[in-house]
Chains A and B, each alone.
Chain A
């Protein structure tokens, strides 16, 4: 066997291992969600027959009685609102840090970094107490506010890294060529900044979508409980049945769209996750 063929074989094995490692839990959840309720304990990796009963039970009863629809709406709404506010605030800050000279710049970056390392559990008790007296307990803003705090450092760092790469001189060049400042900004700077802003938005959305600690600590009902928290409180059809099938189906519903999205924008996400990892 030639050296090229052998290398090819080694790399194939390496790549296959990475693929198996990444995909097994996802395939397993899909398989589990497709098993009919009486086959859920058959311990087979691939279902022997396929049924959509688990998915039907998730949406049964409409918005009022389904254990899943309201948490899904909460998750989407809370994550989207968090993303929009976080990106707007972080863009202001990142623009100032990337383009303007002012004392306190390093302090803001260091502070953001400190907050990224901050243990969220340390704020759960005070927030629980404060939110109950302020009427924010078990509301959307009650979750959006802590998500903002903990997503801003991420968004600021990603945006600063992207904004520093933008050739801002083009803005002036456009104005010299006769564009108004507004045109120069919207026609030149916005298209250049859009990929970075979009990347930061994906990362913030995933962060808010993923949170569990605040979601179970600061909510008590379907009024604001998000999917991760709702999953932890899922119950079976009766008190004797395990909710395994429903949990698996719900997990697939909240996972597959995100995976498709992540795969579609993978280049941007990799750039965002590693932004600033090499140079400050």
Chain B
């Protein structure tokens, strides 16, 4: 190895070290610490009863009905919102790509939800649907008395709407980035051969966009699995709408049960890992070509 290569390597490592340390400090170390906490009984309200309990905390979480209800809620909100976002995001991406005018206006408009704090958006939707302040119940076809947050699935409808509103722009922009790489000559050729607009979409656009779609889906799915802000603001988990992240928060911060809460945290970590694994191995998402969520 030449002296030049060696000094280049040394410089590169020195440049990367601070960022790498900063990233590891709040991920690798805490997840190790969480694993250590999860095999102990640690309840800050009863500090004297601490001790090693093995996998008891995991057993307690996995045999509780609440955990499985929350897993269902989280997956339900995740699947429905990501599915709607994909369709809506694709539609908006096509408008941005193909519109004969007003592309700038559309791009400007879709960035508005991106710039708004999730909590603020959640409040906006909550106030809009609340029976006392909201305008939604005054709309035609909707009962004036509809109590959106009084039932489980009507609450989910509002939560999903808030999530979709907030994150569809990101999906649309990622899909647009994939869309612009498609050679427009293919469309011309297909047109000449008599393919309809729908055929061109399903036979050219979708197959060529598969990598972009998979990456967008992966990032949005993982993001949606962590859903916390909207549910916390709108229902705080009432009417059986709690997500796994809310469960973790309640155990850790509200009940100060670090042992049980850490078991929940580790299980969430494993779920996220499994989702990523399924996308990369199962569907062949090329994550290296992707980018972290925004």
Contact = CB atoms under 8 A, between A and B. Distances in A.
B253 to A, nearest CB: 5
B30 A273 contact: no
Interface in B235-253: 244-245, 248-249, 252-253
Contact of A228 (B101, B112, B119): B119
A262 B265 contact: no
A126 B31 CA distance: 8
Interface stretch (A57-65, A144-152, A180-188): A144-152
B116 to A, nearest CB: 5
18 contacts: A15-B106, A19-B106, A19-B109, A22-B110, A25-B116, A29-B124, A29-B127, A112-B292, A115-B23, A117-B292, A119-B245, A121-B249, A126-B37, A152-B22, A228-B117, A269-B114, A273-B114, A276-B289
A92 to B, nearest CB: 4
Contacts of B138: 43-45
B181 interface: yes
Interface residues of B, number: 100
A142 to B, nearest CB: 11
A51 interface: no
Interface centre among A90, A101, A120, A121 (most CB of B within 10 A): A121
A129 interface: yes
Nearest to A272: B294
Contacts of B8: 100-102
Interface in A106-124: 108-113, 115-124
Interface stretch (B61-69, B186-194, B198-206, B223-231): B223-231
A279 B262 contact: no
A113 B135 contact: no
Contacts of B113: 22, 25
A262 B111 contact: yes
B13 A102 contact: yes
Interface string A124-135: 111111100000
Interface string B1-30: 000010011011101101110110111011
Contacts of A115: 23, 27, 292
A87 to B, nearest CB: 11
A71 to B, nearest CB: 12
A95 interface: yes
B146 interface: no
A115 B13 CA distance: 19
Interface in B95-122: 95, 99-102, 105-121
Given A113-B288, A213-B249, A270 B23 contact: no
B181 A278 contact: yes
A40 interface: yes
